[in-house]
Structure 1
C-alpha cells in the first residue's frame, strides 16, 4: 500500500531542502515526503496523486511565494484533498495573513520560520495534526478505477470484462460522484464522449479502451509462448477448463484460448447449487477462479482475450488462425466454445444494448439496480439464478416466460426458491415485443400470448436469458454442423453406419471427435449435449482420453 503523502511547498531551495529533510527524518518511515518549489507545481503534483488514488495527509506550505501565495495554494488544494491537514510557514510580518487564512483556507496551524529546533517547534504540532488525520483516515482503493456512465455500453463492456476476469476495480459514476468529474478534468479527455476512463494504480490511463488494450495493460497473456502444442483448446468454459486440467496433468503441452474470460457462460452465473461436491453451492466466478488456478498449476497456457478466426488442416497438424494474424499449431484441437444468449430482434434492442438491455447475468449491474424494477426474460436455470440474485438488490424482479410454467425448463430447487422470494413475480405466456428509450431503457412492451393483451411498463434494466446460439461460423467448410451451428460428433456422424465424407482413417470417429480426425468437441457447442455445468466438465475430461488415443496413432 502506498504511504500517505506529506507535501511541502516553498520557492526558496534552501528552505525547501531543510523542511523536507526534517520531515523525512521524523516521518519518512510512515509517510512519503514530497516537495514542490511553487504552488503551480504543487497543484500538478496533487492532480497526479489524485489520478493514482494516493492521499495527502498534511500540507506544509510557505506563505510568501511569487505568483501564488501559500494561502492561495491551500484554497485550491482543499478541492482535491479536503481532509488533509494544512500548516502555513510564515515570517513574523505574515501572521495577520495567516490568521485570516484560518477561515478562508481552513488553516489548521501556522508556524513561524525558522522552526529550529524541530523537536520543539515543528514535530509536536505535526504529531497532533497527523494523529487527528489518522483517526478518520481510510486507505484508498488501490486497484483499477473505471470512470463512466451507467448507461454507456462501453462502460458496461469494461466493467463486465474486468469482473469476469476477476480483476478488482472501483466504479465511479460521473452522474453521481463529484470525484469522478474531477478525474475527468485532470486527465483532460474530451468530455462525456470520451468515457469510459480507466485509471491504473501506476497513474496511467486508457480512454474508451478495448478488452485487448486492458488485458495488455494489466498483464493478461494474449500471445502464445510457443508455436506448437500437443493440445489446443478453443473456449474457456467448464468443458474447456476441464480438458485443460486433465490434458496438462497427463503430460500434454496445452494452450487454452478464450475470447472473453475463463468460465464462459457458467462463469457469469450468480449461484450454482446443484454441482456435485458443493452442498451450499458456489458462484460461477468461484468455479472459474478455482478451475483457472488448477489449470495454471499444471502448466496450462491461457490466452485471453483472444479470438480464433479460422482453422486449417495441414496433416498431421491443425493450425489455428487468431484475430491478430498469428497462428498456433497443434496435434489435437478441442472446440469448447459453448453458446451465447440469443437476441430478441425486436425494435429498440440494438440501440439499448448495454444501456439497460443486457445479455446474461451482468452481475456488474446488480448493485446499480438497488430499489428498481428489474425484468428478466427466460425460464431456464440461468434465468432463475439471476432472478434470485437480483432480488437481493432490486425492489422487484419480474420474470417473463413464454412457456406456461417454469417446470418445463427449470430445476425444482430453483422453482421453490423463486416461489419463496416475495419480490419475484413470474409472468408466464408473456414475451417482450419492444423496448423503448432514448439514451437508456425506459420501458418494455409486453404481450400475453394467451389473451393477446399488450401493455407498456416502465423499466430501467432488462436481462435476457433465452436460446442457445453457438458461434461456429469460423469452422464453416471444415467440420460438420447442424442447421443451427452445433457441431456434430461421434455416432451422430455415422449415417446408415457409414463414416463421414472424407474420413480417411480405418476406424470410426471417437465419441467426441468431429468429421475431421484430431478435431474434437465438448460442452454446449456439441450437437445433442446436455446443457449443464457438470456435463460440460464431464465431456471435457472424458475427451482427453480420446485425444490420447488419437495422438498415439499420429
Structure 2
C-alpha cells in the first residue's frame, strides 16, 4: 500500500477491530514531540516489505515513524492473518510488552521505504519517566493497544478442545494478559481436522497451536509459556539489588516502589501476576475505589507500573530454593528453568497456595470441573447451571455473589454453623439478599464422580452420618490457603506453627536494630499474606510492600556494595 499525500490518519482495514478511544489508542505526535524523543532513540530504515517486528520474537522496542507507512497484522497459530491498522508519519509502533522487550504479539511490515526512530525498552522507559506529559499519552496508548488485542480475539495461540477442558489454560493466558482464542472441534472444521491429523486422544486435549505453528498436547502452564517466549532463552547474569518472590499485591508494591527509587529489581511468580487477589472479581473495600475494582485490573495496573520503572518481571518462573550462604557474596535463587539468579536482598512475597481439601478423586477433576477461582471463563461454563461453592470467607462470598449472576443456583457449603466469624458484614448481607444463593451449614464435600469431566458431587452433613449427591458439573473450592514457603527450607528463615514467616526477631547480630519486616536471616524480608501476623488484606499487603523498601535501602547501605 503506497503512502498518499493526505494528512496521516489511522486507516482501519475492513476486518480490523473497533478500537475503543481511537485517538488515545493511536495518537499522532507533533514534530516538536518527536524532536523531544530523538535523544532517546536511534534512526532505523526499512525497505518495502521488510519486517520491523514479528509475532513471537522479542520486540526491539518502540518505533516512531518519520516517513512511510507500516502495516500491522495479527497472526494466529493456524496461519490466519488479520489486518489491524496501517500507521504512518508521526505515529508510534508498540504495545505495553515493549517496556521490557517481550515477544511481539503482532507483525509489522514496511509498505514502501520507511524511516523510523527506534527507542529500545530501556530508553522507552527513560522517556516515560523524563517526559511526564508525553509519557502519559504514550503509556495510555500502550495499555489500550494490549487491551484491544486481547478483546479482538483473532491472534495469539489457538486452544482446541471442549469448553470444560480449556479453562485452566484460558485462565493462565488471561491472567497474564496474553491474546488467544479457542475453537471447539465439535463445531469448527479447522479444529476437527487438526485433531484428526495429530491423532489426539481426549486425554491429550486441549491442543495448543502457538503462533509459530508449534503444537502442544495438553501442556503445562510452564510449557505453554516457553512456547510463547514468555520465559526462557535469556540469561540473567546481573546481580540484582532486590529479588521479589511473588507478584501479588505485596510483591507488586515492592517492585513499584523499589524500582522507582532506583533499585534493580527482579520479580518472580510461578503462575501469573496478582496472586490470589488477582482472581477476585470485585474488591470493594480497597481505599479509593468506592464502586470496587477487580483484582485483575488492580494487579494489571501495578504490573505495568513496575515495568515502567524498570523492574524485570520473570513470570511464570518458580523459585525452587534459596541459598542464603552467600558464598558468592549474594543470595542465590534456583529457578525451575534451571537457572540460578543472584540478588543482594530478597523479599518473600510468595503468599499462599490454594488449600486442597480431602475429597475423593479431587486431582482427577482439577481444571475439568473443579476450580479454585471464579473468573468470566468459569462463569460462562456455569451459565444456567447449579454449582457448588465450598467456603465461608470473604473470597468465597465474593465468588458466590459473582457466580449468582450467571448460574441458576449457587449452593454454598460451609463447614461451620454460620458466616459471621469469617466474612465481612457487607458480603453476608449481599448473600442473604441474593435469592439464588442457598446456604448449607455444617456440610462438607466428600467425593467427586464423572467420566472425563465432573458430573456429580457427593457430600454429607457434619452433624449426621447421611450422605447425599448432586448432579453438578462445576465445583468451586475457597477453603483457604497454606503459606508458600517450601522454597525457603534450609535457608535459616524461621516460620511459625502454621508455616508463615516470622519477622522482626533479633537475628543474632549484636545490637543491630531489626526492621519489622526482616526475617531471621539478615537481608531476607517478608511481606503480605506469607508473613506471620499480617492482616491478610489487599490494602495491608500493598502497605507492607511499600514499607519494606525503606528497610531494603537501610540493609543495602549497610552492605556497602554499589548496584551493578
Same fold (TM over 0.5): yes
Q: In the alignment, which residue of structure 1 is the partner of 2:80?
A: 53
Q: Secondary structure at the match of 2:530?
A: coil
C-alpha separation in 1, matches of 2:356 and 2:300: 28
Over 3 Å counting, the alpha-carbon distance change for 1:213 and 1:453 in structure 2 is closer
Q: CA deviation at 1:219?
A: 3.7
Over 3 Å counting, the alpha-carbon distance change for 1:415 and 1:202 in structure 2 is same
Q: CA deviation at 1:224?
A: 5.4
Over 3 Å counting, the alpha-carbon distance change for 1:288 and 1:50 in structure 2 is closer
Q: 2:250 aligned with 1:239, yes or no?
A: yes
Over 3 Å counting, the alpha-carbon distance change for 1:454 and 1:510 in structure 2 is same
Q: In the alignment, which residue of structure 2 is the partner of 1:488?
A: 502
| 2:202 maps to which of 169, 192, 198 | 192
8 A Cα contact 1:2 1:54, kept in partner: no
Q: CA deviation at 1:328?
A: 1.2
Over 3 Å counting, the alpha-carbon distance change for 1:177 and 1:427 in structure 2 is farther
Q: In the alignment, which residue of structure 2 is the partner of 1:544?
A: 549
8 A Cα contact 1:234 1:257, kept in partner: yes
Q: CA deviation at 1:206?
A: 3.1
TM-score, normalised with respect to structure 1: 0.71
C-alpha offsets along residues 397-416 of structure 1, whole Å, 9 cap, x if unaligned?
11111122112111122122
Q: 2:172 aligned with 1:145, yes or no?
A: no
Q: How many residues align?
A: 417
C-alpha separation in 2, matches of 1:445 and 1:515: 45
Over 3 Å counting, the alpha-carbon distance change for 1:50 and 1:145 in structure 2 is closer
5 Å matches for 1:234-313? 234-313=245-324
Q: 2:380 aligned with 1:374, yes or no?
A: no
C-alpha offsets along residues 120-159 of structure 1, whole Å, 9 cap, x if unaligned?
xxxxxxxxxxxxxxxxxxx98234321123343xx34322
| 2:219 maps to which of 176, 199, 209 | 209
Q: Secondary structure at the match of 1:484?
A: coil
Q: Secondary structure at the match of 1:328?
A: strand
Q: In the alignment, which residue of structure 2 is the partner of 1:526?
A: 531
Q: CA deviation at 1:295?
A: 0.4
Over 3 Å counting, the alpha-carbon distance change for 1:355 and 1:348 in structure 2 is same
8 A Cα contact 2:382 2:406, kept in partner: yes
5 Å matches for 1:350-389? 350-361=363-374, 363-389=376-402
Over 3 Å counting, the alpha-carbon distance change for 1:278 and 1:538 in structure 2 is same
Q: In the alignment, which residue of structure 2 is the partner of 1:43?
A: none
Q: 2:408 aligned with 1:395, yes or no?
A: yes
Q: Secondary structure at the match of 2:354?
A: coil
| 1:465 maps to which of 478, 492, 513 | 478
8 A Cα contact 1:54 1:140, kept in partner: no
Q: Secondary structure at the match of 2:169?
A: helix
5 Å matches for 1:5-154? 51-54=78-81, 141-152=154-165
C-alpha separation in 2, matches of 1:298 and 1:205: 36
C-alpha separation in 1, matches of 2:540 and 2:467: 40
TM-score, normalised with respect to structure 2: 0.69
Q: 2:520 aligned with 1:515, yes or no?
A: yes
8 A Cα contact 2:155 2:181, kept in partner: no
The root-mean-square deviation of aligned C-alpha atoms, in Å, is 2.5
Mean CA deviation greater in 400-409 or 192-201:
192-201
Unaligned runs of 5+ in 2: 1-11, 16-74, 84-151, 560-564
C-alpha separation in 2, matches of 1:360 and 1:49: 28
Over 3 Å counting, the alpha-carbon distance change for 1:389 and 1:180 in structure 2 is farther
C-alpha separation in 2, matches of 1:547 and 1:224: 25
C-alpha offsets along residues 509-554 of structure 1, whole Å, 9 cap, x if unaligned?
2101111000000010111211111111111111111111111111
Q: CA deviation at 1:179?
A: 4.8
Over 3 Å counting, the alpha-carbon distance change for 1:476 and 1:420 in structure 2 is same
Over 3 Å counting, the alpha-carbon distance change for 1:140 and 1:488 in structure 2 is closer
Mean CA deviation greater in 405-414 or 298-307:
405-414
8 A Cα contact 1:221 1:302, kept in partner: no
Q: CA deviation at 1:191?
A: 4.2
Over 3 Å counting, the alpha-carbon distance change for 1:461 and 1:334 in structure 2 is same
C-alpha separation in 1, matches of 2:277 and 2:291: 17
C-alpha offsets along residues 54-88 of structure 1, whole Å, 9 cap, x if unaligned?
589xxxxxxxxxxxxxxxxxxxxxxxxxxxxxxxx
Q: In the alignment, which residue of structure 2 is the partner of 1:29?
A: none
Over 3 Å counting, the alpha-carbon distance change for 1:54 and 1:323 in structure 2 is closer
Q: In the alignment, which residue of structure 1 is the partner of 2:349?
A: 336
8 A Cα contact 1:52 1:201, kept in partner: yes
| 2:463 maps to which of 435, 442, 450 | 450
8 A Cα contact 1:335 1:519, kept in partner: yes
8 A Cα contact 1:224 1:303, kept in partner: no
Over 3 Å counting, the alpha-carbon distance change for 1:454 and 1:194 in structure 2 is closer
Q: Secondary structure at the match of 1:407?
A: coil
5 Å matches for 1:429-448? 429-448=442-461
Over 3 Å counting, the alpha-carbon distance change for 1:174 and 1:387 in structure 2 is farther
8 A Cα contact 2:253 2:545, kept in partner: yes
C-alpha offsets along residues 306-354 of structure 1, whole Å, 9 cap, x if unaligned?
1111111244421111122211111110000001121112212122222
8 A Cα contact 1:53 1:140, kept in partner: no
